[in-house]
A and B are shown apart, each in its own frame.
Chain A
Amino acid sequence: MSRVLVPCHVKGSVALQVGDVRTSQGRPGVLVIDVTFPSVAPFELQEITFKNYYTAFLSIRVRQYTSAHTPAKWVTCLRDYCLMPDPHSEEGAQEYVSLFKHQSPSMTFPKWLSHPVPCEQPALLREGLPDPSRVSSEVQQMWALTEMIRASHTSARIGRFDVDGCYDLNLLSYT
């Protein structure tokens, strides 16, 4: 299988910084490099090669056009990939790095964090069903009240000495 270099245009790095770039003193730790592909023909990216210069961690996000009708989506291919084991040492600081397609792992999020798959979402709520946002608001308040009571428990005991749940003095005196 032949591999072809895809022409790309690498833009200058932009610092991600909170506040005014001109006046703030600190140097930011995150830089963003935009890479665009001027050729229109679709391709399957196999490998990215570059030379590192004192970057410790690398994240790669790709904007994918899946079909003509759906808008483009940003997909994270790599997150915090370690290039330098110790950011303060020289190891890995000026190395040549090759990243392959199979290295981007499939993201597994916990079930509750993932959005529902589009085909599962009801496009239109059935007729006659109550407003979900109002129902949700009431139910959430009920949940919060219950959680509060569950959390607040008194360690004080009233000091019962139950014999089979019955505290009758006469009965006790016979046992």
Chain B
Amino acid sequence: MAAVEKRRQAVAPPAGFTDSGRQSVSRAVGAAESEEDFLRQVGVTEMLRAALLKVLEARPEEPIAFLAHYFENMGLRSPVNGGAGEPPGQLLLQQQRLGRALWHLRLAHHSQRAAFNNNVSVAYECLSAGGRRKRPGLDGRTYSELLRRICRDGQAPEEVVAPLLRKVQCRDHEAVPLSVFRAGTLTCFVLLEFVARAGALFQLLEDPAAAVADRRVGQAVLDTLEGALQASDAAAPARFLEAGSRLGPDSLALALDRAVGGRRPSAPMTREEFLERAAALFIAKVKPVG
């Protein structure tokens, strides 16, 4: 912002952006450029173009809020004004990098695969860039810290995500290649969505007054999901059809009815336990890093 304001003083006051004709600009002293040239020279054209490209890529539900965050972060990214102060310490730089990488990773939903992969690459480059005291490349400690932050900010309970982190985190000194980085971040985001769906599912199952679910019902649903996830020997299409029929409303209704009809007494199941067990089904299918 400081650069823009300094520039404006060079141009005579009547040459505002909203002026109608070009005559007022050309009349100004030392302002032989048109409005377009001015915008281009201060870099606004490029900035807006990059911002619009990001919006198109991410397709957010709230474009204005998205743009607001984008420009806010851009302000953070540019070098802090006042060149006289000492450069920020290593820890602060690290936190800044993490913050920026996280921001990039959240721009697009993981289902928008092309946009998500682009953002992953940018985040990786951001974290791998060499600095004055930092060798280029992404180390395991930063990577693990990033994964923890993703899960924490996604509001997933810690016990739920801990097994996943154990599987995909890297050791502090290990060098993390881009493919591992991409797979790990994708897995975290997908797990967050999975946990959100499991939470919504629990809300369907729970007794609103008691905020717990009938254990027989919860276990029946989880068992059905586990059964559908068992890899059968059939090839992909048949496996999907089989899972689809198991998870269809009729089949689930039967399973629920059978669970409640049995002679086992009803016992409560908390939301935490349900989420942990559901997440365990997901995490079991994640390939550990190695």
- Which A residues lie at the B interface, using CB under 8 A? 112-113, 116, 120-122, 125-126, 129-136, 138-143, 145-150, 152-160, 167
Residues from chain A with a CB closer than 8 A to the CB of B221 are 135, 139
Residues from chain A with a CB closer than 8 A to the CB of B242 are 112
Q: Please, which residue of chain B has its CB at the minimum distance from the CB of A115?
A: B250
In angstroms, Cα B239 to Cα A147, docked, is 11
B211 within 8 A of A: no
Q: Please judge, given known A-B contacts A160-B290, A167-B171, whether A142 and B201 are in contact too, CB under 8 Å.
A: yes
Most buried by A among B180, B201, B217: B201
B11-19, B83-91, B95-103, B191-199: which one contacts chain A? B191-199
**Chain B at the A interface: mostly helix, strand, loop or mixed?**
helix
Residues from chain A with a CB closer than 8 A to the CB of B198 are 138, 142
Do B253 and A125 have beta carbons less than 8 Å apart? Answer: yes
Do A122 and B177 have beta carbons less than 8 Å apart? Answer: no
Q: Please, which residue of chain B has its CB at the minimum distance from the CB of A130?
A: B204
- Which B residues lie at the A interface, using CB under 8 A? 170-171, 174-177, 179-180, 182-183, 186-187, 190-191, 193-194, 197-198, 200-201, 204-205, 217, 221, 224-225, 228-229, 240-250, 252-254, 256-257, 260-261, 278, 281-282, 285-287, 289-290
Residues from chain A with a CB closer than 8 A to the CB of B190 are 145, 148-149
In angstroms, Cα B242 to Cα A113, docked, is 8
In angstroms, Cα B180 to Cα A153, docked, is 9
Could you say which of B176, B187, B245, B256 contacts A158, with CB atoms under 8 Å apart? Answer: B176
Residues from chain B with a CB closer than 8 A to the CB of A112 are 241-242, 245-246
Do A146 and B180 have beta carbons less than 8 Å apart? Answer: no
Residues from chain B with a CB closer than 8 A to the CB of A147 are 229, 240, 243, 285
Could you say which of A113, A136, A145, A149 contacts B197, with CB atoms under 8 Å apart? Answer: A145
In angstroms, Cα B256 to Cα A1, docked, is 52
Residues from chain B with a CB closer than 8 A to the CB of A158 are 170, 174-177, 180, 289-290
Question: What are 25 contact pairs spanning A and B, CB under 8 A?
Answer: A113-B245, A116-B254, A121-B254, A129-B253, A129-B256, A129-B257, A135-B201, A138-B197, A138-B198, A139-B201, A139-B252, A142-B282, A145-B190, A146-B194, A146-B229, A147-B285, A150-B286, A153-B287, A156-B180, A156-B183, A158-B177, A158-B180, A158-B289, A158-B290, A160-B290
